[in-house]
Structure 1
């Protein structure tokens, strides 16, 4: 079914009925991600399941587990409905992380911004959200990022390096998302062989990804593949910026693909 084999860990902790529900959810997420970003360049995909009896949302926590085969860990409400799991962003977000290497903490704004941007693209491309909800999610996230920047100040790389202690996820994630929105708008105007961020990431993952690549090396590859200086130029503008990027509603509307 997939170019990679999904290895479920802790699946036996669920009843047979819930096992099928979770497998359908994960396989839908993997299939949707592959539609947008292409198959992962690895043979196996470990998926560690952490079902919870009590949770206030379908997927209260999820993360990437790096290793010989990069995988994901999903903490989810074992009684969540199939529809609520499919609509939750967490699975798409963590799967998107598997298309880039692990970056240093001061560059988490870049990795989290990429995964946040791509999760929304994946959900849009696969009909999980429509274009109106896609725009609404981006607007709301950018507003949260701007609001948090008002009271969590300092250069973005320093805030990113201390994201957990500062509880600065909104500024970090959405500054990075703004980076990729601006890069996407620039790509559309540039005579590049790849017109979208997802097409670039798909190509990078298939041709060039290496687990030791730094954020700057990743950026250099995106520049090379796009035959531009879009990413390095934006990176130099973002890495130490102290303000939140201004993205207008008009710019968001221009993200139509």
Structure 2
């Protein structure tokens, strides 16, 4: 993957976000292509997204966050597409509707999803169900934690996503890791993303039942990012570290169940009702 270039000639204005222990410098590419009012709107959107994410998952350990802006004149959604750009400094690329309101941008889930990816390493394609499931789950936790959605909306989003994943599993068959490895060719995003989300729902419920040091996925990811994140961690090393931090075998045990499963996980309404924070 190509390393982002941080030449000053390509960067827009920098926005500093700080908490009591650490500051992260946000460096924009293509910000100056926007009008002054749109620049302020985009900066406010990013400011809000980062503060919300930091509140839930802690401040990013990396000192600089590159943000590559791709404004669109026409788009059906406020943020129709985005991705993480991995490199010496991990960053995010955001394709957004330049005329979307600040409120619409803040309510869109995409920014929280991509920021969540920065809290784990890059995994091999066959384990994209794990990375996409984690980011999908965390985006909803961040939005709930910061009042962007309420608890009923949180559960409804999870129900709807799990239903889409289950429906797609009827037509896209095979072991989950093999499907994830060919996700884009198969168009299997719903099965892959939401199987991974189910994995973390089950892990969340298991954490809540034990008496270990962490009782939520968000707490655990926050600690992992601060103490233990390594860019070269494999998916299995990532999960082994989560087990060590939580003093459990929750993640490795679930991994052995999920990686080669051909069915879609069953998450009941009763389980979703127990996801209280």
Question: What TM-score comes out, normalization by structure 1 length?
Answer: 0.99
CA RMSD of aligned residues (A): 0.5
How far apart are the structure 1 equivalents of 2:26 and 2:120? 19
* Corresponding residue SS for 1:4: strand
* Equivalent in the alignment of 1:125: 145
Aligned-pair CA distance for 1:69: 1.2
Aligned to 1:32: 52
Q: Which residue of 1 aligns with 2:62?
A: 42
* Structure 1 position 166 matched with structure 2 position 186: yes
**Uncovered stretches (5+) of structure 2, i.e. residues with no partner:** 1-16
In structure 1, the gaps of 5 or more residues are none
TM-superposed CA distance for 1:28, in Å, is 0.4
Q: Distance in 1 between matches of 2:193 and 2:109?
A: 14
In 1, distance between residues paired with 2:121 and 2:212?
24
Q: CA deviation at 1:214?
A: 0.1
* Whole-angstrom CA distance in 2 between matches of 1:153 and 1:66: 30
1:242 equivalenced with 2:262 (yes/no): yes
Alignment of 1:154 with 2:162, yes or no, is no
Residue 77 of structure 2 is aligned to residue 57 of structure 1: yes
Q: Which residue of 1 aligns with 2:155?
A: 135
Corresponding residue for residue 115 of structure 2: 95
Cα deviation 1:45-99 (Å, max 9, x = unaligned): 0000000011111000000001111110000000111111001000000000000
- Cα deviation 1:149-184 (Å, max 9, x = unaligned): 010000000000000000000000000000000000
**Offset, 1:239:** 0.1
2:27 aligned counterpart, secondary structure: strand
Alignment partner, residue 198 of structure 2: 178
SS in 1 for 2:171: coil
Q: Does 1:112 align with 2:132?
A: yes
Does 2:210 correspond to 1:190? yes
Aligned to 1:20: 40
3-state DSSP class of the match of 1:51? Answer: strand
